[in-house]
Amino acid sequence: MECLENKKYLLFDFDGTLVDSSQGIFASIQYALAQLALPSVDQKILTTFIGPPLLDSFKQLGLSDENANQAVKYYREYYAKTAIYQVQLYPQIKEVLKSLSKQYALYIASSKPEIFVKQIAKHLTIDQYFTGIYGADLEGKRAKKADVINYALATSYLTPSAGLMIGDRAHDCLGAKANQLDAIGVLYGFGSKKELLAAKAEYLCDEPVDLVTLLT
């Protein structure tokens, strides 16, 4: 891996990396399923929704394309009205971002719709630390993590070799690789060590503060 001293910017995943938004996400999933008269799902299945595109996750439950698209609409309806602020920062994230922003330009690259990411980041007063905040669109054209990362790099004119992607799921690492970026996996989110290593994360961090130790 290229020397860390040559890195100029950091791309952060959002859910599971900066914030624990599981309460709102899980409630929105169950609401969507209930609206379609489908049974609720258990915690293990709910956790699989954090990371991948929402439409793909509903399809993994066996929903048809039509029902999966309708489930996404119900999910976002509930999320925007009720669940968007059912979220909390992981411990010491503000301090970590403040420290890292002194040395790197910071960006968010999330599979969550960009409009929601920006709202939540502002609500939690962490938007001040980011040069750019990027996410999925609402039309489903930019949903996969690789596409969001590509969009972030292109919009901010970033050189892949000068940055790192930081996330908690395989999708973050694989999306980074698809864009010639190195990746750091965090173990305090929703992914496992096995998952992140299989996705070729160059480094692993147990806690948010470990990012400061590694990168400064």
Would you please indicate which residues are annotated as catalytic (active-site) residues?
13
How many helices (H) and strands (E) the chain has is answered by 10, 8
| 54 vs 108: CA distance, rounded Å | 18
CA distances from 9 to 22, 44, 152, 163 (A): 27, 34, 12, 5
Is residue 168 classed as helix, strand or coil in its secondary structure? Answer: coil
| Of 173, 205, 172, nearest in space to 91 by CA | 205
Question: Maximum distance among all alpha carbons in the chain?
Answer: 54
